[in-house]
Structure 1
């Protein structure tokens, strides 16, 4: 009997695509009455379905199935190609929008390891940071570590890199796409995950915490949410429960990626960095954690390598919005309070007070049941 063990971030739809079948057939073969209710570790019978296509095929290239937490730049780096080449080969118009279970064609010579980058002398090379880059992604593409990159470039905070910054890539690492050690789950240079933890949630878990979130929206948001949780090291059940409970309250179960009010109430709020006419409306709350104020937009943009101060509307786009929420969580050291079970302090550091505490606690209790 051939079986498949469900992994964190899997959906029945993605698994069905992987085995060239339908959700209905998979559900029927495994006695699943609700396709949204599957869980990590669950064994599925996949007898009679086509096995997933093997990667590393013919001379025209290979294929790769996107996993939860993947980014197009990370996939490109691991396979010795570029984001542009991947996007062109797969008809991807927005490189930030890929999803778990998506099958990608890897252009090139059948997945052979790419040649090492040209050396810049002295055993290393250089790299110019581009929009959307993270230090861990750059490290993975060049076969080095976040720590080595920090040391070679005098970077104290691995979250603070910016577009156009020139980095020295230390020599002696593996060729790009073949790192000697996998990049840390901490994403943008965060610490290693807590013992026993793993990043990512499933559609069923997400909707278990937020029952009013539609299936379609949950599937759309999940890869971006899981990437953000990996980058912020939100890997344990306790951290996941607190993080999702706060997001559920702040965004109305992810229904509102932009504050309904005009933002005029924030006009002149110097504590938010709103010092210019129109800043209140321009930098009103956006994203699942409702980023507010020019100063916060600037700080988040600098950390993520995105010009949010110049283009604040990007803060409501899912590929950016969830990363902002992860950055905000990590920058305020909220994992430590989550580990201590201090939901009240997590609330205070997000809200500045305890507004909506009963609602937040209700989501938290639901999340605890889920995880």
Structure 2
């Protein structure tokens, strides 16, 4: 049971789910602290779903949140013009590779991503998953740890106004960064809420945003030419940071995804 004053990972996940559904949990986003803003979000959710508005998240409220997220994902599929999404990779495969925080949101977003951006041949999938595995710490990080203040007024990223740096800091498993990139991504998937910034993208589209980067940088073409892990890493990283670990993840992907 989670309520006002609770802290920890369970609170963080609750906050992320509420944000996914469009509720505001405070200016700090999913910070793992059940404060007044999160309490107000829970009360609002409970009222919207005809639950007892007590601000306490027990089994019933958790189940209704889960149902609402599933419904939200169904609406997302429809908005993307996809009546059905093929399952290219399942949760058990990701867990075998070592991924953390695997849930239905992550698996749905992943398979939407693979389908939309045509990451559907084995070499494309192996390279994509292995690079995302390294860049995100096996799914541990869905957005940049830093504040994003370093990106303030960066014209090359399209950050023109105060607050753009933190709002449009890196989000997703291959971090999407900067106002202009967020605009292009929002247009590509036809979801204007992307412009709410990193908190929204990191929860709703950690995979899809990575797929958008992958597609925008012609990574499928590179994979189709028989690229090595070194060649793909250079394109993703601009260097060879973590190359041995990336090789390890690639070999794992080859053995698990086939």
Output the TM-score relative to the length of structure 2. Answer: 0.63
Superposed displacement of residue 350, structure 1:
2.7
Relative to its length, the structure with more helix (as a share) is 2
Does structure 2 conserve the Cα–Cα contact (< 8 Å) formed by 1:131 and 1:306? Answer: no
Aligned-partner Cα distance in 1 for 2:166–2:68:
33
Aligned-partner Cα distance in 2 for 1:317–1:309:
11
- Which structure has more relative contact order (CA 8 Å, sep 6+)? It is 2
1:358 pairs, out of 228, 234, 244, with 244
Aligned-partner Cα distance in 2 for 1:257–1:227:
17
- Is 1:348 matched up with 2:234? yes
Aligned-partner Cα distance in 1 for 2:252–2:69:
37
Relative to its length, the structure with more strand (as a share) is 1
- Identify if the C-alpha distance between structure 1 residues 268 and 257 changes in structure 2 by more than 3 Å, giving closer, same or farther: same
What secondary structure does 2:206 align onto?
helix
Does structure 2 conserve the Cα–Cα contact (< 8 Å) formed by 1:132 and 1:305? Answer: no
Match of 1:207 in 2: 95
Match of 1:76 in 2: none
- Identify if the C-alpha distance between structure 1 residues 293 and 358 changes in structure 2 by more than 3 Å, giving closer, same or farther: farther
2:136 pairs, out of 251, 268, 292, with 251
Q: Deviations over 1:189-238 (max 9, x none)?
A: xxxxxxxxx861122221222x1525xx2454212211211111111221
**How many residue pairs align between the two structures?**
189
2:73 pairs, out of 97, 100, 109, with 97
Aligned-partner Cα distance in 2 for 1:231–1:289:
16
Does structure 2 conserve the Cα–Cα contact (< 8 Å) formed by 1:199 and 1:229? Answer: no
Aligned-partner Cα distance in 1 for 2:106–2:221:
26
- Is 1:330 matched up with 2:215? yes
2:149 pairs, out of 264, 281, 287, with 264
- Is 1:242 matched up with 2:127? yes
Match of 2:254 in 1: 368
Q: Deviations over 1:110-144 (max 9, x none)?
A: xxxxxxxxxxxxxxxxxxxx99733x54xx6xxxx
Does structure 1 conserve the Cα–Cα contact (< 8 Å) formed by 2:99 and 2:139? Answer: no
Does structure 2 conserve the Cα–Cα contact (< 8 Å) formed by 1:225 and 1:322? Answer: yes
CA RMSD of superposed structures (Å): 2.9
- Identify if the C-alpha distance between structure 1 residues 309 and 270 changes in structure 2 by more than 3 Å, giving closer, same or farther: farther
What secondary structure does 2:111 align onto?
helix
Q: Deviations over 1:251-292 (max 9, x none)?
A: 111111121111122223222222322222111111122111
Gaps of 5+ in 2: 1-66
Q: Deviations over 1:1-42 (max 9, x none)?
A: xxxxxxxxxxxxxxxxxxxxxxxxxxxxxxxxxxxxxxxxxx
Aligned-partner Cα distance in 2 for 1:219–1:308:
21
Aligned-partner Cα distance in 2 for 1:274–1:219:
33
Match of 1:315 in 2: 201
Aligned-partner Cα distance in 2 for 1:310–1:218:
24
Aligned-partner Cα distance in 1 for 2:193–2:126:
28
Aligned-partner Cα distance in 1 for 2:211–2:162:
29
- Is 1:280 matched up with 2:161? no
1:296 pairs, out of 178, 181, 197, with 181
Output the TM-score relative to the length of structure 1. Answer: 0.45
Aligned-partner Cα distance in 2 for 1:339–1:239:
7
- Identify if the C-alpha distance between structure 1 residues 308 and 352 changes in structure 2 by more than 3 Å, giving closer, same or farther: farther
